[in-house]
């Protein structure tokens, strides 16, 4: 993709975002959301959230006072929301039970992942919530051009795009009748993304490749790496980086042999609070890269081109934009430009 | 005295299956064991073979306590032909007979030509030559019984414990096997159901309800009164005009 | 084939041993040459020459690492696991006189997964215990519970009724499987369960030299015990009582061999996860090929298991380019038809 098209796309979003501003929401509001039609007679008074990304979108829209319960946390809330978040009760660190969500009698349940509330939802199905009169909203980032019935983390039919993140922000803003705030926030996201892409473009890079290492079930075992269609793939695509992994799954398992032979110019490792596997710790990841007889021979490791990125940015969330910024900055620091 | 049992007993869940058995088997004799179904013959045999541990009393082989003797040493002295032993494995006749050599072999003392000779002899003695390569599953009931016997013989024991060895055998093989056992220079204890065959033993022991109720020369033990008391049948004696030996005829009581 | 014909001479036995060793060597070499990415055979041979004979060929360090530190230890560990699991299955089948016995019968696989999940998901051991160690501890715990239960039920390690140990194994497996599910549903999310599942289906990708130093001696001890007790195992053909009358110290043999197979299986499971099919079917395949006598059957089972698992591992790495399939899927996918073929051929022969 050429740089001019980057800019065009970016400014297009910006234009649309500004244009959509101002207008107050007219109720009843009907929305198509991840295969379901949802209707609101008025803006919900309260909301419970299932998924950190959904929580942070509501906080970004200044709706922190309306959130009455949160769940499914992957790491600390964004520092700018620490204060707001401190006042909101946590239903569960992990998956909340159906009843704990319903007990809050929320006007809306905002959800990050389909697998929490989809047809086989582990919290409940959306129908179950709708039957007790609680509408649900799932962030489009997890269902637009994505089939959640295939593969463990679902499989995307098209490359993920931050447009679906913007859509989630805008739609939630509409539901809560804060469209101007939504438009402003989207505009900010679009600008940050465009700037990061612009900075990368200025480096005039050719044939830079990367692998995103999320974690591994055991230290030496084949790792989970980013596939060709998810948020990391989008970052790489926008910044002109080639993903050495060739799988359409969201987080496929690929052998170190394959990764090492592909010899990426840089490796992006996920930093997270989760400590289920030893490799969740980014320091352990670095240790492995430096000591493993094969991984340590990769150009990326020899030249210390290792990027540490917030794991949540590798999921399709508003943090993805921060991920693009981190990656863009790393390209510059690594001096990959010719 | 090759084998001695003193006050031997075995009970399970408080029920005495065999009790108070005193028995001394003499060197070289063939001792017949008779008794109705469930009278404890097989159980007594298992106790004498040492594969079931008695709950009272003891068994001595050549004066040595059987319990506590290494299994391997015991098996070099005693071979036991079970009343029933089956397998689903695709084992050949030769494989089955070779098992008899188990107590004589160790990983460091592997199979030798002598073992081959013993196995061949055992097969010949039981009239199973030519069956070596037949698979177990294809054998008839009588053939299986003869293979088991061949295995016991291949063990080259000093004492043979045979639990109904003539089971499934045709009359010719019944007679030849019993003759073989009687002619062998080894001691044997044989559980039998045919009282006429028991008459051919050197001594006979009679089991009833877990007790050894009588022991002695066949003609003294197998009396019409005792048979009536233990088996509940009426026995009459007829004389074979050919050689003048007397045999039993049985009638329902 | 007629296993009954002339007893093999010393020379022919040596010949067969040499053939077996050659087959194993060829399989390990194949496992080293074939992998996720193409590396020329010459490069492989040069690397091996450098490492083993101190030659000085110039080879790309990444290739050296892949060949020497990934593929070779992986092939050796695969061979050991294949051999260990197959021999364990064979011993249990013979000892328990149950054709459906497999190494996981005694609750080992279920216990291993509980141990692994307890460490990774529930966070037991506070980071000091690795998933492998957790799996090993879980496996041994489950086995001890099953053995105790079998003993309490009056069966297990007694002359009569090996049925109890099978039933106790089923009960133990169910219990530990339920525990695993409990731990997963209680505290896991999808991503987390996924790592566990991947491991449960068996995974050789983490095999490195330290695993080799563990797997090789364990496999050798397992096979050695099986050869040492070959005649005792033969004697179980007609049941435990028959074995006892043939001079086999039944209790000792049962305790030693069941304990040892449990240990071998637990070690293998903790290194590579629970790979199915090998322990159940390879012994039967070996019986079809070399007969039921354990002197021959043990080494044959080990060899076939070793070669089979290396082959399955190679397939798992190459069948879908750029992706590695769980090896348990391959062992069943390839093994089941192969076994069917052996069954049909064996039938025609007899
Ligand atoms: N383990 C056991 N538990 C309970 N009862 C048993 C056990 N073993 C044997 N018995 C019982 O003990 C009795 C004696 O059995 P045994 O097999 O010794 O009889 P037997 O004289 O050999 O009979 P048969 O002529 O039918 O072979 C039988 O009633 C049998 O049911
Ligand atoms: Mg009997």
Hey, what domains does chain B have and what are their CATH numbers? Answer: 3-222 (3.40.50.300), 224-253 (no CATH)
Structure tokens at A163: 């447009």
Paired residues of A40 in beta bridges: A29
Cis check: omega of the bond before A28, within 30 degrees of 0: yes
Among A158, A190, A222, the domain-final residue is A190
Residue with tokens 């397992």: C222
CA–centroid distance, residue B197 to ligand 1 (Å): 22
For residue A13, pLDDT over 50 is answered with no
Strand ranges in C151-271 using DSSP code E only, listed in sequence order: none
Contact assessment for residue A232 and residue A243, using Cβ atoms and an 8 Å cutoff: yes
Phi-psi region of A314 (alpha: psi -120 to 50; beta: other; left: phi over 0): alpha
**CA of A114 vs chain C CAs: smallest distance (Å):** 11
Higher pLDDT, A195 or A218: A195
Rounded CA-CA distance B84/B141 in Å is 11
For residue A9, tell me if it sits in a domain. Answer: yes
Residues A54, A25 within the same domain: yes
CATH topology of domain C10-349: ABC transporter involved in vitamin B12 uptake, BtuC (1.10.3470)
Mutation target vs C (from B73, B99, B106; most C CBs, 10 A cutoff): B99
Q: Does B250 touch chain C (CB under 8 A)?
A: no
Q: What is the pLDDT of residue C197?
A: 64
Element (H, E) at B59: strand B56-61
pTM for the full predicted model: 0.84
Instruction: Using DSSP, state whether B60 is helix, strand or coil.
Output: strand
For residue A256, pLDDT over 80 is answered with yes
What is the ipTM score, two decimals?
A: 0.90
Contact assessment for residue B50 and residue C225, using Cβ atoms and an 8 Å cutoff: no
Per DSSP, B50 falls in state T
Residue list, CB under 5 A from ion ligand 2: B 41-42, 83
Average pLDDT over residues A202-223: 89
For residue A198, tell me if it sits in a domain. Answer: no
Query: Positive or negative, the Cα torsion across A251, A255, A258, A263?
Result: positive
For residue A196, tell me if it sits in a domain. Answer: no
The answer to whether chain A touches chain C by having 3 or more C-beta pairs less than 8 angstroms apart is yes
**Chains with ≥3 CB–CB distances under 8 Å to A:** C
CA–centroid distance, residue B41 to ligand 2 (Å): 5
Q: Give the one of A115, A251, A294 whose C-beta lies nearest to C65's C-beta.
A: A294
CA–centroid distance, residue A167 to ligand 2 (Å): 85
Structure tokens at C154: 């009056």
Residues A86, A147 within the same domain: yes
Q: What is the pLDDT of residue A18?
A: 47
Residues A118, A209 within the same domain: no
Phi-psi region of B162 (alpha: psi -120 to 50; beta: other; left: phi over 0): beta
- Rounded to the nearest 5°, which phi and psi values hold at C68? -85, -35
Ligand nearest to the CA of B210: 1
Ligand nearest to the CA of C160: 1
Average pLDDT over residues A9-16: 45
Rounded CA-CA distance C216/C210 in Å is 10
Q: Give the one of B82, B94, B96 whose C-beta lies nearest to C241's C-beta.
A: B82
For residue C64, pLDDT over 70 is answered with yes
Q: What is the pLDDT of residue A337?
A: 58
Contact assessment for residue B164 and residue B83, using Cβ atoms and an 8 Å cutoff: yes
Residues A214, A185 within the same domain: no
Measure CA C103 to chain center: 8
CA–centroid distance, residue B99 to ligand 1 (Å): 26
Rounded CA-CA distance B33/A252 in Å is 74
pLDDT tens digits along A40-63: 999 999 999 999 999 999 999 999
Residues A120, A217 within the same domain: no
For residue A221, tell me if it sits in a domain. Answer: yes
- Give, in order, the Cα–Cα distances in Å from A88 to each of A44, A97, A113: 17, 17, 21
Q: What is the pLDDT of residue C156?
A: 40
Rounded CA-CA distance C134/A216 in Å is 17
Nearest residue by C-alpha to atom 4 in ligand 1: B12
Out of A148-157, B230-239, C270-279, least confident range: A148-157
Residues A174, A70 within the same domain: yes
CA–centroid distance, residue B40 to ligand 2 (Å): 7
> B105: nearest CA in chain C?
C231
Least Cα distance to A231 among A287, A140, A162, A285 occurs for A162
Instruction: Using DSSP, state whether B161 is helix, strand or coil.
Output: strand
Q: What is the pLDDT of residue C327?
A: 86
Q: What is the pLDDT of residue A274?
A: 74
Please judge whether B72 and C292 are an interchain contact, meaning their C-beta atoms are less than 8 angstroms apart: no
C258-262: long-range pairs with CB below 8 Å, 24+: C258/C91, C258/C92, C258/C95, C258/C106, C258/C147, C258/C157, C258/C165, C260/C91, C260/C221, C260/C222, C260/C225, C261/C87, C261/C88, C261/C91, C261/C92, C261/C103, C261/C222, C262/C106, C262/C108, C262/C139, C262/C140, C262/C143
Q: Give the one of C131, C187, C191 whose C-beta lies nearest to A153's C-beta.
A: C191
CA–centroid distance, residue B84 to ligand 2 (Å): 9
> C227: nearest CA in chain B?
B107
For residue A137, tell me if it sits in a domain. Answer: yes
Q: What is the pLDDT of residue A3?
A: 41
Which residues between 32 and 61 in chain B have a beta carbon less than 8 angstroms from any beta carbon of chain C? 46, 49-52
Phi-psi region of A304 (alpha: psi -120 to 50; beta: other; left: phi over 0): left
Instruction: Using DSSP, state whether A50 is helix, strand or coil.
Output: strand
Chain C residues whose CB is inside 8 A of the B80 CB are 245
Phi-psi region of C189 (alpha: psi -120 to 50; beta: other; left: phi over 0): beta
The answer to whether chain B touches chain A by having 3 or more C-beta pairs less than 8 angstroms apart is no
Chain A residues whose CB is inside 8 A of the C317 CB are 255
- Rounded to the nearest 5°, which phi and psi values hold at A268? -105, 125
pLDDT tens digits along C180-230: 888 877 664 545 555 566 667 788 888 999 999 999 999 999 999 999 999
Please judge whether C287 and B90 are an interchain contact, meaning their C-beta atoms are less than 8 angstroms apart: yes
Q: What is the pLDDT of residue A2?
A: 40
Confidence of residue C257 (pLDDT cuts 50, 70, 90): very high
Nearest residue by C-alpha to atom 2 in ligand 1: B12
Most confident of A61-75, C115-129, C157-171: A61-75
Structure tokens at A214: 């999320």
Paired residues of B190 in beta bridges: B32, B162
**CA of C209 vs chain A CAs: smallest distance (Å):** 11
pLDDT tens digits along B178-196: 888 888 888 999 999 999 9
Among A190, A212, A227, the domain-final residue is A190
Q: Does A283 touch chain C (CB under 8 A)?
A: no
Between chain B and chain C, how many beta carbons pairs sit less than 8 Å apart? 91
Please judge whether A260 and C65 are an interchain contact, meaning their C-beta atoms are less than 8 angstroms apart: yes
Q: What is the pLDDT of residue A197?
A: 94
Residues A185, A211 within the same domain: no
Rounded CA-CA distance A289/A304 in Å is 10
- If one residue of B18, B35, B41 were mutated to test the ligand 1 pocket, choosing by the most ligand atoms within 8 A of its CB, it would be B41
- Give, in order, the Cα–Cα distances in Å from B56 to each of B22, B42, B74: 12, 17, 20
Ligand nearest to the CA of B17: 1
Q: How many CB atoms lie within 10 A of CB C162?
A: 24
Burial class (CB in 10 A: 0-12, 13-18, 19+), B180: middle
Dihedral, C81, C83, C85, C89 alpha carbons, nearest 10:
180
Which residues between 230 and 249 in chain A have a beta carbon less than 8 angstroms from any beta carbon of chain C? 245-247
- Give, in order, the Cα–Cα distances in Å from A333 to each of A204, A211, A302, B133: 14, 18, 15, 79
Residues A151, A273 within the same domain: no
Q: Where are the domains of chain C?
A: 10-349
CA–centroid distance, residue B236 to ligand 2 (Å): 26
Average pLDDT over residues A263-284: 88
Burial class (CB in 10 A: 0-12, 13-18, 19+), B236: exposed
Range of the domain at A182: 2-190
Residues A80, A165 within the same domain: yes
**Chains with ≥3 CB–CB distances under 8 Å to C:** A, B
Q: What is the pLDDT of residue C49?
A: 93
Please judge whether C61 and A297 are an interchain contact, meaning their C-beta atoms are less than 8 angstroms apart: yes
SS3 content of chain B, % helix, strand, coil (to 5): 35, 30, 35
For residue A197, tell me if it sits in a domain. Answer: no
Residue with tokens 């090492």: A260
Residues A253, A161 within the same domain: no
Confidence of residue A153 (pLDDT cuts 50, 70, 90): low
Number of independent structural domains in chain A: 2
For residue C328, pLDDT over 90 is answered with no
**DSSP-derived pairing of the beta strands B30-34 and B203-208:** parallel
Instruction: Using DSSP, state whether C77 is helix, strand or coil.
Output: helix
Rounded CA-CA distance C52/C50 in Å is 6
Out of A95-99, B39-43, C160-164, least confident range: C160-164
**DSSP-derived pairing of the beta strands B3-12 and A306-310:** unpaired
Chain A residues whose CB is inside 8 A of the C66 CB are 257, 260-261, 294
Structure tokens at A205: 């890079």
**CA of A89 vs chain C CAs: smallest distance (Å):** 19
Structure tokens at B45: 């045999």
Structure tokens at A322: 């921060």
Which ligand 1 atom is the nearest neighbour of the CA of C160? 1
Rounded CA-CA distance A31/A28 in Å is 10
Please judge whether C120 and A254 are an interchain contact, meaning their C-beta atoms are less than 8 angstroms apart: no
The set of protein residues with a Cβ atom below 6 angstroms from ligand 1 is B 12, 17, 35, 37-43, 83
Question: What CATH code is carried by the domain that includes residue A262?
Answer: 3.40.50.1980
Among A190, A221, A240, the domain-final residue is A190
Residues A122, A184 within the same domain: yes
> C205: nearest CA in chain A?
A221
pLDDT tens digits along C333-342: 877 887 787 7
pLDDT < 70 positions in chain B: none
């Amino acid at each position: 993709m050429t740089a001019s098209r980057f800019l065009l796309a970016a400014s297009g979003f910006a234009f649309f975002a500004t244009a959509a501003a101002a207008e107050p929401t007219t109720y009843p509001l009907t929305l198509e959301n991840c295969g379901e039609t949802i209707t609101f007679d008025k803006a919900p008074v309260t909301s419970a959230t299932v998924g950190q990304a959904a929580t942070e979108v509501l906080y970004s829209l200044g709706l922190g006072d309306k959130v009455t319960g949160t769940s499914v946390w992957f790491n600390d809330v964004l520092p700018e929301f620490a204060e707001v978040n401190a006042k909101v009760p946590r239903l569960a660190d992990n998956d909340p039970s159906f009843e704990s969500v319903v007990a809050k009698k929320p006007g809306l349940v905002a959800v990050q992942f389909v697998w929490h509330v989809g047809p086989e939802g582990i919290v409940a199905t959306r129908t179950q919530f709708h039957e007790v009169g609680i509408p649900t909203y799932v962030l489009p980032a997890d269902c637009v051009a994505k089939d959640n019935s295939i593969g463990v983390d679902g499989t995307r039919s098209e490359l993920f795009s931050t447009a679906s993140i913007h859509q989630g922000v805008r739609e939630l803003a509409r539901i809560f009748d804060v469209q101007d705030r939504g438009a402003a926030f989207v505009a900010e996201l679009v600008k940050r993304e465009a700037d990061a892409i612009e900075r990368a473009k200025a480096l005039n890079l050719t044939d830079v490749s990367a692998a995103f290492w999320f974690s591994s079930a055991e230290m030496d075992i084949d790792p989970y790496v980013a596939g060709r269609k998810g948020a990391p793939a989008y970052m790489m695509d926008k910044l002109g980086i080639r993903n050495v992994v060739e799988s359409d799954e969201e987080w496929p398992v690929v052998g170190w042999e394959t990764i090492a032979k592909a010899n990426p110019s840089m490796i992006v490792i996920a930093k997270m609070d989760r400590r289920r596997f030893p490799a969740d710790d980014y320091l352990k990841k670095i240790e492995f890269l430096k000591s493993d007889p094969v991984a340590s021979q990769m150009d990326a490791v020899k030249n210390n081109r290792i990027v540490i990125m917030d794991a949540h940015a590798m999921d399709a969330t508003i943090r993805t934009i921060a991920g693009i910024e981190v990656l863009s900055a790393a390209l510059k620091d690594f001096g990959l430009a010719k | 005295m090759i084998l001695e049992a003193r006050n031997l007993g075995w009970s399970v869940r408080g029920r005495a299956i065999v009790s108070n058995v005193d028995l001394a088997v003499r060197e070289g004799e063939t001792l017949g064991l008779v008794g109705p179904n469930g009278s404890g013959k097989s159980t007594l045999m298992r106790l004498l073979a040492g594969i079931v541990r008695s709950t009272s009393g003891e068994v001595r082989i050549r004066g040595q306590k059987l319990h506590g003797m290494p299994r391997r040493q015991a098996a070099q002295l005693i071979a036991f032909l079970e009343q029933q032993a089956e397998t689903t494995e695709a084992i050949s006749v030769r494989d089955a007979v070779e098992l008899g050599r188990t107590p004589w072999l160790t990983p460091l003392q592997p199979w030798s030509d002598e073992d081959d000779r013993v196995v061949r002899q055992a097969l010949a003695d039981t009239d199973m030559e030519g069956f070596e390569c037949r698979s177990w599953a294809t054998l008839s009931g009588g053939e299986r019984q003869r293979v088991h016997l061949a295995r016991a013989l291949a063990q080259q024991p000093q004492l043979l414990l045979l639990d109904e060895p003539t089971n499934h055998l045709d009359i010719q093989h019944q007679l030849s096997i019993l003759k073989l056992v009687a002619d062998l220079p080894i001691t044997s204890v044989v559980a039998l159901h045919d009282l006429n065959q028991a008459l051919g033993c050197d001594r006979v022991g009679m089991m009833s309800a877990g007790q050894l109720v009588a022991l002695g020369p066949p003609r003294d033990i197998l009396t019409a009164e005792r048979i009536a008391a233990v088996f509940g049948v009426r026995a009459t004696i007829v004389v074979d005009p050919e050689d003048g030996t007397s045999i039993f005829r049985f009638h329902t009581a | 084939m007629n296993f009954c014909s002339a007893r093999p001479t010393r020379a022919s036995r040596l010949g067969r041993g040499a053939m077996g060793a050659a087959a194993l060597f060829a399989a390990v070499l194949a496992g080293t040459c074939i992998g996720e990415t193409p590396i020329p055979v010459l490069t492989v041979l040069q690397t091996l020459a450098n490492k083993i004979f101190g030659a000085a060929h110039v080879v790309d360090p990444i290739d050296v690492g892949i060949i020497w530190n990934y593929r070779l230890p992986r092939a050796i560990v695969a061979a050991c696991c294949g051999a260990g699991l197959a021999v364990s299955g064979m011993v249990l089948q013979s000892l328990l006189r149950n054709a459906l016995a497999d190494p996981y019968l005694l609750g080992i696989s279920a216990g291993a997964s509980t141990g692994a999940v307890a460490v990774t998901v529930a966070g037991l051991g506070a980071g000091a215990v690795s998933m492998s160690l957790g799996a090993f501890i879980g496996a041994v715990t489950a086995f001890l519970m099953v053995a105790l239960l079998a003993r309490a039920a009056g069966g297990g390690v007694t002359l009569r009724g090996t049925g109890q140990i099978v039933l106790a194994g089923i009960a133990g497996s169910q219990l530990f499987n339920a525990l695993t599910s409990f731990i997963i549903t209680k505290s896991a999310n999808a991503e987390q369960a996924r790592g566990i599942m991947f491991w449960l289906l068996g995974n050789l990708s983490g095999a490195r030299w330290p695993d080799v130093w563990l797997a090789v001696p364990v496999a050798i001890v397992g096979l050695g015990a099986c050869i040492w007790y070959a005649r005792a195992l033969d004697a179980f053909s007609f049941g435990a009582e028959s074995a006892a009358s043939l001079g086999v110290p039944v209790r000792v043999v049962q305790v030693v061999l069941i304990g040892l197979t449990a240990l071998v299986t637990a070690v293998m499971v903790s290194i590579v996860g629970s790979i199915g099919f090998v322990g159940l079917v390879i012994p039967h395949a070996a019986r079809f090929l070399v007969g039921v006598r354990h002197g021959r059957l043990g080494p044959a089972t080990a060899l076939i298991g070793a070669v089979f698992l290396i082959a399955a591992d190679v397939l798992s790495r190459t069948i879908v380019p750029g992706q590695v399939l769980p090896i348990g899927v391959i062992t069943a996918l390839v093994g089941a038809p192969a076994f069917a073929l052996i069954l049909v051929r064996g039938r025609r022969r007899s």
